[in-house]
A and B are shown apart, each in its own frame.
Chain A
Amino acid sequence: MTTTTTPTFSGTADYLAAPDLTDAVNVAIALEKPLLLKGEPGTGKTRLAEAVAAQLGMKLLSWNIKSTSKAKDGLYVYDTVARLNDARFGDHDVRDIARYIKFGPLGRSFIGDERVVLLIDEIDKADLEFPNDLLHELDRMSFVVDETGETHTAKQRPIVIITSNNEKELPDAFLRRCVFHYISFPDEAQMKAIVKVHHPDVQEQLLQTALLRFYWLRKQPDVRKRPSTSEFIDWIAALMKTGVPLERLEKEIPFVGLLLKKESDVQQLVNMKDTSRGFRM
């Protein structure tokens, strides 16, 4: 199989990746396509990029997208103000425009000598046209700095990982070029394994009971902001530190504020207290 010629990702000691996720990563690397990741907050989209970089021994360049991000900023920024300032007060040679070109994360992922992992985080935060503006560069793996006329072509094609939180629909033309993977929320067995990575000495009984409570809470239709993996891990830490007796956990949900971050959700739970399906706090 030709897969041996391309680097292969299999998950790391502190990042457990489901087989279909590692498959998606490896296909994206082999077919040289960007990997687009979606999923509930806290399912480890951003951390996947870190794990890929760590396992493959590559540098990670992160580009955190904001509502004001422009595709071109990822390639480079031409610092006109610094140049203007130098022209008036400085003693630098302002004729050399290249001095005022600052490369962004996308640009740096192209021009370096080493192959890197490029994380484009939360692409949906930007303008609707933003993903389309990236297409050309991602396809050709080269860009031109208009101000200097220089063309930069990627020496090593970066591994591109893109995350989205679904705030906006992404354009079709963009989606067609990506390998897509939706990270489902971990089931109980997966969650158990994840918790054990963070808290290796957790008591089996405690974990089991806590899992029951946690998934019960997530199933409540009235809970608006469902607790995520990271919140569960914090909650387990609190339970272990304070040594909450198991009997108490079977009847109540202590430290519910670690799981529910919305006043209205906590209120919902209090309301349920009187009914048979609820737990006391």
Chain B
Amino acid sequence: MFLAFYFQLRAHGLKVSPTEWLSLMEAVARGFDRANLQTFYGLARSLLVKREGHYDAFDRAFAAAFEGVDRAAPITDELLAWLDQPIPMKDLSDDEIAQLKAMDLETLREQLLQRLKEQKERHDGGSHWVGTGGTSPFGQGGRHPQGVKVGDAGGGGRSAVALAGERRYQNLRSDRVLDTRSMGAALRKLRKLAREQGPEELDVDESIDRSAREAEIELVFRPPKKNRVKLLLLFDVGGSMDPYAQLCERLFSAAHQASHFAAKKTYFFHNCVYDRLSTDMQRNIGVPTADVLKDIDATWTVIFVGDAWMSPHELHGDGNYFSYGKSTTPGIEWLRRFAQKARAVAWLNPERPHIWGAPTVRDVRRVVPMFELTLDGLDRAVDHLRGARRVELPG
């Protein structure tokens, strides 16, 4: 069961390092689980899981491993057995195994044996040893592994497994879509600071440097650092994007609130970019796409937001299907032009990646790198746009 827990954690995508695993064992050996499965649950979580986004995966792994178990006492026996034979963890890398070997397993073993001995003696003495830790092993009084029931001594004493099974942390998962604040935090990373012309300010570091070298106090002035990144946001609105209106609105307001861009512009389109971009979709006010494109240069970053979901002729056809008249440039060609002129482009798609195989989505992805509109996706998009981690276009 103990090892099963380890494998369940891995199976649920939690990369537990040997150091963390050993910390847990040390804590168990020193009695911090108080032979109580609920305490063990909290203990394991605080030592093995370091992001609340992973709490849900941990809950599922825990429920799977400890199904039908109602106390942690057998864990100590299993731990002892494991310490006798510590390397059956097949999927460890060589590095991790080396790390594991370097650890002081013998001390851990002794600690554990000592604890088991104390446990026996006290038990023989007639007092129920676990009780001295202040908790009964059977979760009496509705003890919550996560919370308290302050002033509510009744309670049903639900088991840790049942609680883990409730999956209370589902909405903390990191693949969730984002709110304005986290979007703003992600967008902030797009900053690129550089000095430009402007009013000067005292450069303290340089002044000190110069003064030290010249042995005279020298004051150096120069223009402050300014962010040079300019942001163009293009939103797909209406039609199949309607379910994502609120999400897009959040991204829009995050970008709108961001004060750190040298310039930013937002336009809307429907389905794909054609010869006109809209500034107000409802009143159908727009500007020629060519004019927008003219202002774009290598200081601009372009982000498209949309599901890239349309029929193929709406992407590759000449754009006559939409109300803007005599366009002869297909949508895909406009995307290509933006991609060529801007410093970097990215496409944020609110749809789940498993349907990105659709023909038009696939074609758009060949021109503009696509990322899911979630916290992870936005982070990766920003990394790509900064040039920190470029994403190659699929062939």
Mark A residues whose CB is within 8 Å of B. 1-3, 16, 18-20, 23-24, 26-28, 30-31, 33, 36, 38, 80-81, 84, 88, 166-170, 175-182, 184, 186-187, 189-190, 192-193, 224
Q: Which residues of A contact B89 (CB under 8 A)?
A: none
Contact of B26 among A24, A31, A169, A193 (CB under 8 A): A31
Contact between A189 and B185, CB atoms less than 8 A apart: no
CA distance A228 to B19 in the complex (A): 36
Contact of B47 among A1, A179, A184, A186 (CB under 8 A): A179
Contact between B111 and A24, CB atoms less than 8 A apart: no
Contact between A175 and B50, CB atoms less than 8 A apart: yes
Question: In this complex, what residue of A is CB-closest to B23?
Answer: A31
Contact between B17 and A38, CB atoms less than 8 A apart: no
Say whether, besides A1-B133, A3-B30, A23-B39, A33 and B23 are in contact (CB < 8 Å): yes
Q: Which residues of A contact B51 (CB under 8 A)?
A: 175, 180
CA distance A1 to B168 in the complex (A): 32
Q: Which residues of B contact A193 (CB under 8 A)?
A: 148, 150-151
Contact between A1 and B118, CB atoms less than 8 A apart: yes
Cβ contacts A to B, 6 pairs, < 8 Å: A18-B148, A20-B42, A20-B46, A24-B46, A192-B151, A193-B148
- The reply on B87 being an interface residue by CB < 8 A is no
Contact between A23 and B217, CB atoms less than 8 A apart: no
- The reply on B55 being an interface residue by CB < 8 A is yes
- The reply on B211 being an interface residue by CB < 8 A is yes
Contact between B27 and A30, CB atoms less than 8 A apart: yes
CA distance A176 to B14 in the complex (A): 12
Q: Which residues of B contact A184 (CB under 8 A)?
A: 146-147, 168
Contact of A190 among B118, B147, B168 (CB under 8 A): B147
CA distance A147 to B151 in the complex (A): 56
CA distance A81 to B379 in the complex (A): 40
Contact between B52 and A2, CB atoms less than 8 A apart: no
Question: In this complex, what residue of A is CB-closest to B118?
Answer: A1
Q: Which residues of A contact B19 (CB under 8 A)?
A: 176-177
Contact between B143 and A19, CB atoms less than 8 A apart: yes
CA distance A182 to B173 in the complex (A): 13
Q: Which residues of B contact A36 (CB under 8 A)?
A: 50
Q: Which residues of A contact B293 (CB under 8 A)?
A: none
- The reply on B124 being an interface residue by CB < 8 A is no
Question: In this complex, what residue of A is CB-closest to B150?
Answer: A193
CA distance A178 to B50 in the complex (A): 8
Question: In this complex, what residue of A is CB-closest to B55?
Answer: A182
- The reply on B43 being an interface residue by CB < 8 A is yes
Q: Which residues of B contact A189 (CB under 8 A)?
A: 148-152
Distance in angstroms from B51 CB to nearest chain A CB is 7
Contact between B46 and A2, CB atoms less than 8 A apart: no
Contact of B182 among A30, A33, A166 (CB under 8 A): A166
Q: Which residues of A contact B143 (CB under 8 A)?
A: 19
Contact of B31 among A2, A33, A187 (CB under 8 A): A2
Q: Which residues of A contact B149 (CB under 8 A)?
A: 189
Q: Which residues of B contact A3 (CB under 8 A)?
A: 30-32
- The reply on B49 being an interface residue by CB < 8 A is yes
Contact between A38 and B52, CB atoms less than 8 A apart: yes
Which 6 residue pairs are nearest across A and B when measured between Cβ atoms? Answer: A175-B50, A20-B42, A193-B150, A182-B52, A1-B31, A24-B46
